[in-house]
Amino acid sequence: MNRAKEWIHAARLRTLPLALASIGLGSFLAAFEGKFRWPVFILSGFTTVFLQILSNLANDYGDAQHGADNLHREGPSRAVQSGKISPKSMKTAIYLFIGLSLISGIALLLISTAGISLEFLGLLIIGFLAIGAALNYTMGKNPYGYAGFGDLFVILFFGFVGVMGTCFCHTGTISWPSTLPALSCGLLSTAVLNVNNMRDIVSDEKAGKLSIPVRIGRRYAVIYHWLLILISIIAASVFVMLNYRSPVQFLFFLSTPLLFYNGYRVASISDPKHLDPFLRQMAISTLVFIVTFGIGILI
């Protein structure tokens, strides 16, 4: 039983709702266009869950190998670093979730594109890139997370690829105005990562993990955090104005007090170990933003 708990802990299930936010937003946008499809929604959800768990397991393995999980880390203990799961077992689990991601992803593409086609091959390539991004954040000889490119990849995959890719699987077309809410989703997801990286700034610096907060320091990381929040709100607002039907479309403004509170608390807390609750709060705030935005554009 304890063994199962260790694997559940390593999978970091609390990250799954945030990962599903991009799928939800892409599906809301498809419904806004009148082209929502349940099979696409379900398979998109499974694929994203498998990819997120893959990323979490690979992150656990990679940080243990590179030394980012050490005594100076403020966040929860990791399975490989603590010795609760062996590196060999973790690698086996990583391979398992690569397989599950491929099976679910290919099934999604076959349903979305009605067979092998140029669209199928293009989306398949993006799928392989997503798997590569999940693995190479902290794994490998030159993990991009250690070079400070984690934020860029979160914006790309949790924003544009996740949202617009899901919408395309529903609709078969790309609606360029949807890049605006996709940007909002990517920026808010990056804000979650930024809180995480601000919390771990000491341990990351010692391990040579050059996250954005390590590179620019805490003061500018706070300014960066505020910019992520504010630009996300602006981008969503511009989308609504371009597709304006009624004031209800601005329903997502109800989430802004939660976002502003997070920005205020992140700015005011000086001890990194006290940031962890606001990592979760930022993730919840992002979900509230996505749900209220989606409801607003549909009613």
Measure Cα distances from 195 to 182, 211, 213, 269, 271 in Å: 20, 11, 9, 11, 12
How many domains does one find in the chain? 1
Out of 34-38, 83-87, 248-252, pick the least confident. Answer: 83-87
At residue 162 the predicted structure's pLDDT band, cuts being 50, 70 and 90, is very high
Per-residue pLDDT tens for 259-283? 999 999 999 998 888 999 999 999 9
Please write the tens of the pLDDT for every residue from 239-251: 999 999 999 999 9
Question: What is the structure's pLDDT at 150?
Answer: 92
Is the overall model pTM greater than 0.85, yes or no?
Answer: yes
pLDDT at site 15 = 86
pLDDT of residue 1: 46
CA-to-CA dists, residue 16 to 106, 225, 241, angstroms: 21, 22, 31
Q: Which letter does DSSP use for residue 139 in this model? A: -
Q: 67 or 167, which is more confident?
A: 167
**pLDDT score recorded for residue 75:** 53
Q: Domain limits at 226?
A: 2-298
Euclidean distance between CA atoms 123 and 292, whole angstroms: 29
**Least confidently predicted of 64-73, 83-92, 99-108:** 64-73
